[in-house]
Amino acid sequence: MCYAIPGRVVDRQGKYAVIDYFGEKKKALNELVEVKIGDYIYAQGGYVIQAVPEKEALATLAVWRETFFELQAKDLELARLDSSQAGVDKSYLRILDKALVGKTLSRPELSRLLASTAGAEQRLMFKTANYLRQKWMKNSCCVHGVIEISNHCRQGCQYCGISSWNKRLVRYRMSREEILTAVGEAVEKHGFKSLVLQSGEDPGYSAADLAEIVREIRQRHQVLIFISFGEIGLDGLAQLYEAGARGLLLRFETSDPDLYRTLRPGCRLETRLEHIKRAGELGYLIITGALVGLPGQERESLLSDIFLTRELKAEMYSFGPFIPHPQTPLAQALPAGDQDRAKEMLKVLALARINDPQEAKIAVTTAFETIYPQAVETGLMAGANSVMLILTPPKYRKNYDIYPHRAHAGQQIEEQISRTIGLLHNLGRAPTDLGI
Ligand code: 5AD
């Protein structure tokens, strides 16, 4: 199994189990399965997900033992700050130094970092973000899988290729059985310990239907389920939590209420945020974030997006570039060239890490990979520590057309996994999520 390292429960503290990983102690909520001291378990996102038979755990650990320390050493080596500061303005350097010693940066300081166009300054900013990621979060890199269960959507978001604007799209809705089969394969065959189920806001699936599917998944498999079905209503959130979902992926898209209203006609930012906050109160792990490079989006507004994500206590940041889709009103809203957009994205990832160094995961998103083939390598070296793979059955993938030419749309799952593992290996990252 590649996506988690088994740990041993060494203590119980109320709702938490204390878990030992090669001498390092982590805590995870002991709520979904019953474990006792001495058991071997898999944890994800701070939850104990699965008890593992001792024999199996010891065999997996034997394989991991050597690699684990090897990877850690490589990561540490790569995260070292070299002394080259040529071409970096003194005032800029002072801001990064302040971040390195753990002081909170002011908004003008963060703004200064985001505004820089000097290559040397940006490189140092990425290195600083990577250093902080290594210092606080070590080398674990979360690998989530996403299954896109339906591309029907009742919303008319101006930027989105599966919105009601797209009259040419062939719509699909996976049946309950198809979903259960895809989940079964992801968990049992490919070893995923956490999955995101995603769709447009599909009136064809009620919250009760979705809850029933999640309940069935939880009965069949030990896996952490994130839901990403748009705004399913506060009652819907409660129903799905009760059914066993423990994570919500819902971006607020932009923290600028006026821009939000323009891009999502008839919708309000407030309602979106209410969903995310309610989910947090219910106990969901939150993945949220915004689009980068939207027409009319100011740089300062991106900074507010980063602050808002932190305020929402995101378990993971999900920021991706806006990519115009030909069948939407923003088809002609041509953003800057790919290279400039990639730089802007990297700065956003780095800034998110610098502003929230200690706990949050930061994802390199598929949209970023779509505009920039080296997104995973460079993103992970600029503060990010999470990647997403697409596990939607291949026959549906190209129809989940939120933006054109989606990365991995034509790639077999096995190929995505082996490519990711190889890449993480080169960077000294362990494809695992060691909890909190
Ligand atoms: N470009 C990039 N990302 C997009 N999304 C929707 N449309 C686009 C686009 N044209 C993102 C939104 C949404 C997520 C599922 O996909 O942020 O929340």
Residue 256 structure tokens: 């600028």
Please give the backbone phi and psi of residue 422, each rounded to the nearest 5 degrees, phi first: -60, -45
DSSP state of 102: T
Taking the C-alpha atoms of residue 358 and residue 101, their distance in angstroms, rounded to an integer, is 13
For residue 201, the one-letter residue type is: E
- What is the chain's percent helix, strand, coil content, to nearest 5? 40, 20, 40
Taking the C-alpha atoms of residue 210 and residue 216, their distance in angstroms, rounded to an integer, is 10
Choose which residue among 159, 305, 328 to substitute to test ligand 1 binding: the one with the highest number of ligand atoms within 8 A of its C-beta. 159
- Cα 188 to Cα 160, 193, 194, 375: the distances in Å are 33, 9, 12, 29
* 347 Cα to the center of ligand 1, angstroms: 19
pLDDT at residue 3, rounded to an integer:
61
Spell out the residues 6+ positions from residue 98 whose beta carbon is closer than 8 angstroms to its own: 105, 109
* 211 Cα to the center of ligand 1, angstroms: 24
Q: How many C-beta neighbours within 10 Å does residue 303 have?
A: 21
Nearest-CA residue for ligand 1 atom 18 is 251
Please indicate whether residue 320, judged by its CB atom, sits closer than 6 Å to ligand 1.
yes
- Which among 168, 171, 176 has a CA at the least distance from the CA of 205? 176
Please indicate whether residue 319, judged by its CB atom, sits closer than 6 Å to ligand 1.
no
Name 195's bridge partners.
Answer: 145, 225
Query: 3-state secondary structure string, 314-349?
Result: CCEECCEECCCCCCCCCCCCCCCCHHHHHHHHHHHH
DSSP state of 361: E
Nearest-CA residue for ligand 1 atom 8 is 160
- Which among 130, 148, 140 has a CA at the least distance from the CA of 392? 148
Cβ(165)–Cβ(114) under 8 Å?
Answer: no
Residue 404 structure tokens: 């054109």
10 Å CB burial of residue 371 (0-12, 13-18, 19+) is buried
SS3 394: helix
- Which among 2, 162, 41, 88 has a CA at the least distance from the CA of 31? 41
Please indicate whether residue 403, judged by its CB atom, sits closer than 6 Å to ligand 1.
yes
Ramachandran quadrant class, 355 (left: phi over 0; alpha: psi -120 to 50; beta: rest):
alpha
pLDDT at residue 32, rounded to an integer:
76
Choose which residue among 149, 153, 269, 291 to substitute to test ligand 1 binding: the one with the highest number of ligand atoms within 8 A of its C-beta. 291
Kindly provide the b/e burial profile for residues 40-56, where b requires at least 16 CB atoms within 10 angstroms of the residue's own CB. bbbbbbbbbbbbbeeee
Q: What is the CA radius of gyration of the chain?
A: 21
pLDDT tens for the 436 residues of the chain, in order: 346 789 999 999 988 999 998 888 888 988 878 889 999 999 888 899 889 999 999 998 998 888 889 999 999 999 998 767 888 899 999 999 999 999 999 999 999 999 999 999 999 999 999 999 999 999 999 998 999 999 999 999 999 999 999 999 999 999 999 999 999 999 999 989 999 999 999 999 999 999 999 999 999 999 999 999 999 999 999 999 999 999 999 999 999 999 999 999 999 999 999 999 999 999 999 999 999 999 999 999 999 999 999 999 999 999 999 999 999 999 999 878 889 999 999 999 999 999 999 989 999 999 999 999 999 999 999 999 999 999 999 999 999 999 999 998 889 999 999 999 899 999 999 887 765 4
Taking the C-alpha atoms of residue 112 and residue 91, their distance in angstroms, rounded to an integer, is 9
Q: Which pTM value belongs to this model? A: 0.96
* For the CA of 328, the nearest atom of ligand 1: 10
- Which among 297, 375, 300 has a CA at the least distance from the CA of 336? 297
